[in-house]
Amino acid sequence: MKTLIVAVGILAVGAFALAQQGKPLSPSGTAAAQVLGKYVKPTSGRGAPALGGEAYQDGKWIEIAYGRPLKRGRDIYGSGANYGKAMLVGAPIWRAGANVSTRLKTEVPLVINGKTVAPGEYSLFIDVKENNWTLVVSTWAAQTNFDPQNKAALWGSYNYTPDKDVLRAPMKLETLPHSTEQLTWAFLDMTNDSGTIAISWDRQMASVAFKVGS
């Protein structure tokens, strides 16, 4: 009983703190896709009306979880010697998000740029050079709250080192017809066993193709 009361107290304090601070400047978000599933008529129930009475079953999830910064009128990328400086804020590589490190969680092996990423959780970074972006998939663990004493996991991309890189892949850079206000990761051109991982912010889109491995 006492434990429960303490737990409620902690919950209440947490809720109060959130209410006081309001929405974080860069709200959290996710992008998710499923592969390898199939549409089947359920043996019981009516199935999903929007799927013609079928249901998508046994799909495997691929997900990116990240903080979503807003452009807020800024020149995000800069140019020349200042290119990328505003995004990096002193870090060796871009977290491609906000606050926590951007995380990739996959239930299937992914083949990217000729290398296989085994099912699991990874951190994503982008090496940003003008007209030359490189996606980095790393086994660096992520801190859930900033803790400068924790040297075994990263907050954002501060203290990133390349020794835990699983792979690096050049990104295809494209210009969008509109300016996206909030940084957005998305899965594009998906088939049941392949697709593209893309990041969009302002008018810049950068993407990398992947296939589901075996």
Contact positions vs other proteins (CB under 8 A): 1, 4-5, 7-8, 11, 23, 25, 27, 29-34, 37, 48-52, 56, 59, 61, 63, 68, 70-73, 89, 177-182, 184, 186-192, 195-196, 198
Least Å distance, CB 18 to other proteins, is 15
Shortest Å, Cβ 116 to other proteins: 22
Nearer to other proteins by C-beta: 155 or 187? Answer: 187
Strands (E), 8-107: 28-35, 38-40, 55-57, 60-67, 102-106
Sheet holding 120-129, edge to edge: 28-35, 60-67, 102-106, 120-129, 132-138, 165-170
Beta-strand pair 153-154/141-142: parallel
The residues that bridge with 207 in the sheet, in sequence order, are 172, 198
At residue 30, what are phi and psi to the nearest 5 degrees? -140, 160
Rounded least distance, CB 71 to other proteins, Å: 7
Residue whose CB is less far from other proteins, 61 or 129: 61
28 or 150, CB closer to other proteins?
28
